[in-house]
Amino acid sequence: MALNTYGTSWPAMSATSNQAAYPPSRAADGNASTFWVSGNPAPTPSTSLSLEVNFGAPVSIASVSMLPRPGYGPKDYTIQTSADGQNWTTDATVTAAALSGATTTPITPVTAQYIRLEMTDTYQGSGQTDQISELTITSS
């Protein structure tokens, strides 16, 4: 559902940081060989990083699947939803996500315009980046 192959502005991807050659849109292009790369520093509980989807209108959300770039994905994150992009609700907490292969997390179905992964730990260690190949959101 986060896939945007039409060149339209929705869904729109954003992140708290990224490397210029690896923008957030690469996490929603349907191509597992491309990926978003966060900027430095690595996420921690006190300096989290987020990857966000704005659907442009409310949608029904039932699960989130995060496919990391093998060996470089986030370790711990929360899945949060929002109606307005300002007030967020934590719908799930993921610890020790898969380092290769997708981590799929069901949530209690919710209607929201925005969803984000709020990353709080990485497998790569201090000074490294998180990298996500695909973020897939499914409806209920």
Over residues 97-125, the mean pLDDT reads 94
Q: Report whether 101 contacts 67 (CB < 8 A).
A: yes
Q: What percent of the chain has pLDDT over 70?
A: 93
Mean model confidence pLDDT for the chain: 90
Q: Inform me whether the pLDDT recorded for 77 exceeds 50.
A: yes
Q: What is the pLDDT of residue 134?
A: 95
Domain boundaries along the sequence of the chain: 12-138
Q: What is the pLDDT of residue 6?
A: 42
Q: What is the pLDDT of residue 140?
A: 74
Regarding the domain delimited by 12-138, which CATH topology (the fold level of the hierarchy) does it fall under?
A: Jelly Rolls (2.60.120)
Q: What is the pLDDT of residue 2?
A: 56
Q: Inform me whether the pLDDT recorded for 4 exceeds 60.
A: no
pLDDT band at 3; cut points 50, 70, 90: low
Does residue 72 come out as left (phi exceeding 0), alpha (psi in the -120 to 50 range) or beta? Answer: alpha
Q: Report whether 103 contacts 93 (CB < 8 A).
A: no
3-state secondary structure the chain: CCCCCCCCCCCEEEECCCCCCCCHHHHHCCCCCCCEECCCCCCCCCCCEEEEEEEEEEEEEEEEEEEECCCCCEEEEEEEEECCCCCCEEEEEECCCCCCCCEEEEEEEEEEEEEEEEEEEECCCCCCCCEEEEEEEECC
45 burial class (0-12, 13-18, 19+ CB within 10 angstroms)? exposed
Q: Inform me whether the pLDDT recorded for 13 exceeds 90.
A: yes
Q: Inform me whether the pLDDT recorded for 45 exceeds 50.
A: yes
Over residues 75-87, the mean pLDDT reads 97
Q: Inform me whether the pLDDT recorded for 18 exceeds 70.
A: yes
